Structures are given as C-alpha cells and as structure tokens.
Structure 1
Amino acid sequence: MVETVTSSFWWRWTQPHHHPRRWVPSVFTTHKAIITAVWIAFLVTVFWWQVDATAGILIFRRVFPAREVPKFRPVAFNLTDFGGVGDGVTVNTEAFEKAILAIAKLGKKGGGQLNVPPGYWLTAPFNLTSHMTLFLAEGAVILGIDDEKYWPLMPPLPSYGYGREHRGPRYGSLIHGQKLKDVIITGHNGTINGQGQAWWKKFRQKLLNHSRGPLVQIMWSTDILISNITLQDSPFWTLHPYDCKNVTIRNVTILAPIAGAPNTDGIDPDSCEDVLIENCYISVGDDGIAIKSGWDQYGIAYGRPSKNILIRNLVIRSNVSAGVSIGSEMSGGVSNVTVENLFIWNSRRAVRIKTAPGRGGYVRDITYKNLTFENVRVGIVIKTDYNEHADESFDPKAVPLLENISYTTIHGEGVRVPVQIHGSKEIWVRNVTFRDMSIGLTYKKKHIFQCAYVQGRVIGTIFPAPCKNLDLYDEQGHLIRRSDAQNATDIDYDI
C-alpha cells in the first residue's frame, strides 16, 4: 500500500510541548542519541523520497505540489474520468482506450488532451489518435505490463523484412500510433516506464519467440512533438519514429541500465524526414541515438531515406555502444544530418557510422561540430564491415556510398583512440574533413589516428597527428601536402 506524507507528523514534532531546546542537549550526550539522529534523518528522507518502482518495493510516495496543467486542446480529460486508478496494481488499459476514443471523436474540433495525474498507472499497450495531447503530470508514471502475453503481435516493418530478432511478427510498443497527424506527448516530466527487466532476462535466456517491441513507436505520421518527459527501461529501442515527417523531440530524459539492458537505444529516427532532437539527456544500454532507414534488400526496396535531421545540445552515455550512430540499417539512405553541441561521456564510442556490403544506400552530407568526449574508448568511428544481415538473400554487391562527412571543433580527454575510419576496397570513405581537433589520449600504441581506404583532408593543425591517408591544408585552405597513400591501413582490430 502506498502511503502519503501528511503534515501531522511534522506538526507534532514542532509543537512547544516537545521542548526541543531541552531535548537536544540531553539526548546528544549518549551513544543512543547518535542512533536516534540517524533514524530521524532516515525517516525525513524516506518521507520525502521514494524508492524507484523498478528497483524495489515502493514504501512511500513523494507528495508533489499541485501544478496547473497547461491546456493544449479545446477539451481536456483526466484519466480518472474513465475509471483509471493509479495504484500500480490496477490495470488501466480500458481507461486509456476509452479516453483516447473520446478524443478521437473531437478531431474536427481541434482534438483533446488526456491528463495523467500523479500515480502509477499500470497498463498493457495502447494506441494514440490524431490531434491528441498526452500530458503526464509531475509524479505520473505509466507502467507497462511486463508479461508479453498482453503485448499484441504486429507485422514486421516493411523495410526490415521480419522482426529485428526473429522471423515473423514482432511485439508492438507500449504506446503506439499509425498514420496520425498532430500528436503531442508532454508533461511536467512524468515518466513512461516499460519495466524492461523481465524482457531483458527472457531475451538473454532465449525464451522469446518474437522480436521485442519499443517503448514508444509512431509510424507513418506527421507533426509529432515529444517533450518534457522521462522514458525509462524500454524492452527494446526506446523511442522509434518510423517513416514520419516533422518530428520534434525536446527536453526528454531517456534512461536504462548501461549494462544488462540489451538493445535499449535511446532515440531511433528511422526513414524519417525533418527531425529535431535537442536538449535531451540519454543514458542507455545501447546507442544513445541511432539514425536508420531499413535493412539490406528490404530497406533498398522500401526506399525511404532519413534526411534533414538536426541533433543538438545533448548529454549522452552509452557504455556498450555509441553516443550517436548512423546505421547499421541505413539501406534507404541517410543525408543532411547535423550533430552539434554534444557531451558524450563514459561511452564505448562517441559518434559512429556503421554499414557493410549488402546494405546499399548512402550516408552523405553529415556534419559533426562542437563535440566533447570524456572517458571514451574510441571517439570517431566509421565502420564498413558490420556484417549483420536480415537473411541470406542480401546482395553483397549492393555497397553503400559514404561521402561528404565533416568533423569540426572536436575536443576531449581520457580517449583511447580518437579516430578510426575503416574503409575498404569495396566501400571507400570519401571527402572527409577534420578541423580544430584536440583530444587528450590514454592509448600508448603508435597508431592512435587510424585510417584505411579514406580520402579527405585536414585543415590547420589538429591533435593527435592525422593519419597519412589525408591531405593537409593550412588554416587559409592552401594545400600543404597531398596524400599518396589513401588506401593505407593503420587499423588496430583489437580496439
């Protein structure tokens, strides 16, 4: 039973008959007083803070001050109007469905807003509707049922051919939407919690017969805004916009354990156009952000690129993968991406492009600027042998095109290898530019700036010294030395 702190406790301890001035000196003269003081401090803490629902049993719930909920739509409902109970035990799927059905009828009148009050709202997956705002109050937590039998099965994504982990259908997402327009998910930093622990355990034990589903997935939709919420412990990828246009993700916190939470990518724009991701904090068990556009022959056939994407002002930690990745599923193409003003810390890799023969497609016109790395194993990675394929029907001659990639104002410390550009005879990396780079190193081997089959240039002086594959220019853009060894290989495969 969740209890709420009342003011009576504090009232009793602040009344004159307790004589605090006489009590304090006398008590603190004994060893028992120390124990008493510790217990009082503990009780104060417990009364005002709660144990996280995913880490243990709730003892007390923090009291949140009443905050006025902004009204984004002409009509607003509360989940409790439809029978919702936020006790963490009652299943609220029917309440969500009834509320969203009521909002669906208001589309021509500007739509409706569903307010989720403070509490723990257990639910199976449900679908959003157009012209809808889902607002999570401070202290509101939507909890996903962690038993897969309550999660619907859906057809495979057309650009992937089958479920990402198994052939055949895949599990849907906790919060889902298809062919929608004008959808907002926002709040006073309320939380959507997928309770992924059971999913991760079954995945490791190979007990799942279908691919896991994302926490939030919106498909074939336009005008999407997701802001001011926390997304936590997704079964699989956390936030997955698929073939969407005009998507804004702002002021979002995304959390999952940095180990033992497989494939919990933070944000995966997939075959999306006109995307803004800004002012977010991401700490997850896989890529912080992974830009995708389909897998091998299925992605080539679907033919929907990801393009016009701006990622800025983020703090990211990815202990087992990369802060920001492009690929490896990029067969529909990725272009016109800007990644700027990022701090990436305690991560295996900072920014990465990954692909392989069979992917087809392209990665081009990619700009990285003003990036800071701290305690990162490899800073900048371009990898062309990420040989994980949908099935054996891929065409090995479908090689991707990688070109027009620039890195400007890159700084950091505690980095083992600053750059590893691993082109190949089949997949050259062309027109790469480095300018204004200084990275503190922890690696003692010779080849700390590693290249293979890359063509490009360095403008001005950078640290560490670049590989010999690149042309050198001064700050004014005058050629100093042209490389005669663009296919030279200085790759340390043990990194």
Structure 2
Amino acid sequence: MVEPPSTPSSSPPCCWRRSWWASLYPTNNHHPHRRWIPSATTFFSTNNTVLTALFLAFFFTVFYWQKEATAGGLAIFRRPFPSRQVPKLRHAAFNLTDFGGVGDGITLNTAAFERAVVAISKLRNKGGGQLNVPPGNWLTAPFNLTSHMTLFLAEGAVILGIDDEKYWTLMPPLPSYGYGREHPGPRYGSLIHGQHLKDVVITGHNGTIDGQGQTWWTKYRQKLLNHTRGPLVQIMWSRDIVISNITLRNSPFWTLHPYDCKNVTIKNLTILAPVFQAPNTDGIDPDSCEDMVIEDCYISVGDDGVAIKSGWDQYGITYGRPSRNILIRNLVVRSNVSAGISIGSEMSGGVSNITVENVHIWNSRRAVRIKTAPGRGGYVRDITYRNLTFENCRVGIVIKTDYNEHPDGGFDPNAFPILKDISYTSIHGEGVRVPVRIQGSSEIPVMNVTFRDMSVGVTNRKKHIFQCAYVQGSVMGTVYPAPCENLDLYDELGNLVRRSTSQNSSDIDYDF
C-alpha cells in the first residue's frame, strides 16, 4: 500500500491555494491518521497571562459581533447555504500497480481500475479506501467509482481515455432529457462514472484526466457517430462529493457533469479544451443539483465554461428537479465560441438561488448568459452576479428567450419560463462590444432586473450598446454605458429619478 505524501511535491499552478488534500494530512509522525491539536490546558499552561487576556478579549469580541449580526444589518450576509460535510481520511490506501496497472500509455488498465474499485467497495463499513494513481500514462476504458472512495492522482499521473467508442458503454438517455442530446436513443457513458454514491473524492497533486477527445470531435463533425458523446466525468444521483486539485482536459463532450447530486464541492480545478473545433466541451455542468460550491478554478474550453441546467422541455418539467443553492466564485474563464457562465438553455426543472461572484471572463464570445425558450417551462430566479470583470468579450451580459432547440415535437409551446429577480452588481471591464443584451418577449418578460455599480469600456461607441426588450427593472446609481430606457433610474441613495414608460420597447440589434 502506498500512502500519498503529506505535502505537494510542487507548488500548484497559477493562483492555486494549498491543496485541500495536503491540509488534511498530518504534520507529526506519531500517528499516521491523526492530526495533533493542542488542548486548552496545553495552550494556556505554555503561554503567559497577557496571551490569555488577548484570547478572552478576542472571544468576547466575536461573540458580541455575532450577536449584533443576528439582530442587525449584518445578518443579510448569512447565506442560506447548509453546512457541508468534510470527507474523511481513508483507513486503507492502494496503488493502481497493486492491481496490475501499467502506466506506459499503451497497456489498457480498465481491469486494474475495476479490481481496485471492487477492493475498496468491500471496505465500505470500515470507512472506504483510497486508490493512488502514481506518475505515468494510464490508458483505460470507462470505469465506475464506488461509495466511500478517494481517487488520488499524483503529480505526473495521467488517466487517458481510450478513443475507440466500441469500449464506451451505452446508457439510457437522462430521464430529464428524454433524448441522447445529440441523437435519439442511448448515449455513451462517461470515462469516469458513478451512480447512487456517497462520500466520493477525486483529488490529487494536480494529476490529469485526459479524454483524448480529438477523435470524438472529428467524428462528430463528420457525422460518423450514432450516439451522443459521453462526458469525461459524470456523477449521478449522489451526494457528498468533492472534486479538487486536478486537471481535466480534452473531454469528448461535457467535461464535468454532476447530475441530480447534493452537497458537491468543486475547487482548484484546471479544465482545458481547444477553444475552437472542440464542440460541446463545457467545463462544468451542474444539472438538477442542490447545495454546490464551485470555486478557485481556471477554465478554457470550446463551449460554456460553466452551464447550470435542470432538464429539457417536457422531460425536465416531468422530472422536476431544480438546480438551486449554487455558489460560483473566484474563477478565471475563457470561452471563445460560447459564454463564460451560463444558465440554461435546458432549465425546465427550474434554477434558483445562484450566486456568481469574483469571476474574470476574458477573450470570450459572451461573458454571463441566461438562455431559454418557449416550451422550456420552469423558472430562473434569485440570481446574483457581483464583482465580475469582462476582458475582450463580444457581449457582456446576455438574457436570451428564443433559444429554440427542442428534443422532439412533444413539447408544449405555451410552457413559458419565468425569469425574475436577477441582479448585477460591480460589473467592470474593457474591450466589450455590447455590454448588455437582454431580450425578453411578450410571452417571456424579464422581471425585476437590477444593475448597480457598472462601468464597462466598449470597443464601439454607437448607440444601443445597452440593449433591452420586454424588461422591467432598475438601475441604481452610476452605470456606464447609459442604460436602456426600459429600466427605472434611481440615485445612489435609492431615490427614484425616472420611472420607465417603455418597458416593452426593443432596441435589440444582432448586427451589432
């Protein structure tokens, strides 16, 4: 058995913080699975009275602040996100080579992964186990995870997905889609897959999972595939999932797809695909998920960086699982052909209580987008964007209500989605052609949209670069460029300056 090292062997890339995994490992040598924490007796017996007084002063200050926060205005910062369980250290750890794995990039290691997963599944009542993937190129066909499992990729470890579709399992369409997404009928499963799991960790010292998607993308463009391509990593109907400190690249289709999952943490990921000629390689697609954090990631892909979904037309309405309570923060994203952060277009189960903050979107076709259409049903509401930076984006903020792509002819054309309670605060940037394009319609008006503190440098100073149609909402204080006439204007103190009389007017100009 091989235990992972207590600290990363090299610093993580870019602005990554110290890895979650390293923070869990012990710093003493007395017990291999226990961190040393000083007791209160030890603490006070080895420090003087002054330190004791400082500790008590700090304690009562925090106690007073919490009391005031509960009673007063600071309570608004308390988000309704639930407490999150921290994955436990495993009592047993294995090396992939223990099960016959060969990391030469040629030998197929599917059986080795499967044997390792079976061994860990037998330890479910003892806390599960960890599978270490050491440095090397580990070619494999798709395989499944099990509950109470940690998949740990060492620095220099690369899991390579075999690019021959005959090795990829066919699965039924997702119940909330009713369609393979690209073809009717079955779809290919993911390279790394799991269903009905609990307590699963995929982490490492920035090891890589590579889907070798080039062959898939070429066959898709040449229409040589009879089934929908599979994601790189897909976890379904599961809870208590952590995915951190690894690189995901070259997915055949969507890269990371949590489906109908609860309590998911995704952090410190690098997600890469060519920004052109890599179709539908979304970075992260939370789909009918609840209670999720996505943070501290770098994403540069051939479609949406993050796309929140909840089912497609009548199938999503029937399945009825919303995506809600999702926090997205501290991301750097590039999407040359799509959007940095999207909601929809498959949102028929509903999307609510989403916060997107501290995100830098650069060299992208669109920055943040909500997209839907008649026939979707559902709702998008209680969406908060704040502290966003746009750099060289064709369009900054987009809400589109005619994204007419349907699984089949069985949808209800009168199932109109509801879009309301959407706020944009502290939005800044440069090199943006159209800062805002909100296209509501008479059937799908966009209600209660708020802009506050916005300053975006534009590449062309034509009129109508803040474009609106069927929008009701407000502008608070200073917003540049000048907002459309559909919105009420308020000063910095919240006093009404001008009430809009033209909420249904349209100046949408797709030629600009």
Aligned equivalent of 2:466: 449
1:97-246 equivalent positions in 2, closer than 5 A: 97-246=114-263
Aligned equivalents of 2:477 and 2:102: distance in 1? 62
- The superposition leaves residues 289-333 of structure 1 with CA deviations (integer Å, 9 ceiling, x where unpaired) of 000000000000000000000000000000000000000000000
> For 2:376, what is the secondary structure of its paired residue?
coil
2:403 paired with 1:399: no
Map residues 255-334 of structure 1 onto 2, 5 A cutoff: 255-334=272-351
Distance apart, 1:476 and its partner CA: 0.8
So what's the TM-score if we normalise by structure 1? 0.86
1:415 alignment partner in structure 2 = 432
State the one-letter code of the partner of 1:432.
V
Alpha-carbon distance between aligned partners in 1 of 2:424 and 2:24, rounded to the nearest angstrom: 42
Q: CA deviation at 1:444?
A: 3.4
User: Could you tell me how far 1:443 is from its partner in structure 2?
Assistant: 2.2
Q: Distance in 2 between matches of 1:494 and 1:195?
A: 37
Matches within 5 A, 1:415-494: 415-494=432-511
Letter in 2 for 1:114: L
Paired position in structure 1 for 2:61: none
Note the C-alpha offset of 1:459: 0.3
Report if aligned partners of 1:69, 1:137 keep a CA contact under 8 Å in 2: no
Name the structure 2 match of 1:83: 100
Q: For 1:326 and 1:426, how far apart are their aligned partners in 2?
A: 19
Post-superposition Cα deviations, 1:138-160, rounded to whole Å, max 9, x if no partner, equal 00000000000000000000000
Q: In structure 1, how many angstroms separate the alpha carbons of the residues matched to 2:408 and 2:362?
A: 35
Where in structure 1 are there 5+ consecutive unaligned residues?
1-66
2:13 aligned partner: none
Query: Equivalent residue of 2:431, what SS?
Result: strand
Question: 1:352-403 CA deviation, whole Å, 9 max, x = no partner?
Answer: 0000000000000000000000000000000000000010110000000000
- Structure 2 SS opposite 1:176: strand
Kindly state the Cα deviation for residue 461 of structure 1 after the two structures are TM-superposed. 1.3
* Counterpart among 353, 359, 362 of residue 342 in structure 1: 359
CA distance in 2, matches of 1:408, 1:299: 31
Give the Cα–Cα distance (whole angstroms) in 1 for the partners of residues 246 and 135 of structure 2: 13
Q: Give 5+ residue unaligned stretches, structure 2.
A: 1-21, 26-32, 34-88
Matched residues, number? 429
| TM-score under structure 2 length normalisation | 0.83
SS in 2 for 1:95: helix
CA RMSD of aligned residues (A): 1.1
Cα distance in structure 1, aligned partners of 2:197 and 2:98: 24
Distance 1:463 1:487 in 2: 22
State the distance in 1 between where 2:405 and 2:272 align.
26
Instruction: Tell me, in whole angstroms, the C-alpha distance in 2 between the residues paired with 1:172 and 1:109.
Output: 30
Measured after TM superposition, the shift of residue 68 of structure 1 is 12
Equivalences for residues 371-410 of structure 1 within 5 A: 371-410=388-427
Q: Residue type of the partner of 1:367?
A: T
CA distance in 1, matches of 2:490, 2:23: 57
Hey, what's the Cα distance between the residues in 1 that align with 2:350 and 2:309? 8
Map Cα deviations across residues 158-194 of structure 1 (whole Å, 9 max, x no partner). 0000101000000000000000000000000000000
Cα drift, residue 437 of structure 1: 0.2
Deviation at 1:69, TM superposition (A): 11
Superposed displacement of residue 445, structure 1: 2.4
In structure 1, C-alpha distance between the alignment counterparts of 2:409 and 2:431, rounded to whole Å: 41
Per-residue displacement from partner, 1:423-447 (whole Å, max 9, x unpaired)?
0010000000000000000023211
Percent sequence identity is 81
**Ranges of 4+ aligned residues in structure 1 off by more than 2 Å:** 67-72
Instruction: Give the aligned partner of residue 33 of structure 1.
Output: none
Q: CA deviation at 1:223?
A: 0.2
User: Which residue is equivalent to 1:57?
Assistant: none
Q: Using the alignment, how far apart are the partners of 1:360 and 1:221 within structure 2?
A: 26
CA drift of 1:493 comes to: 1.8
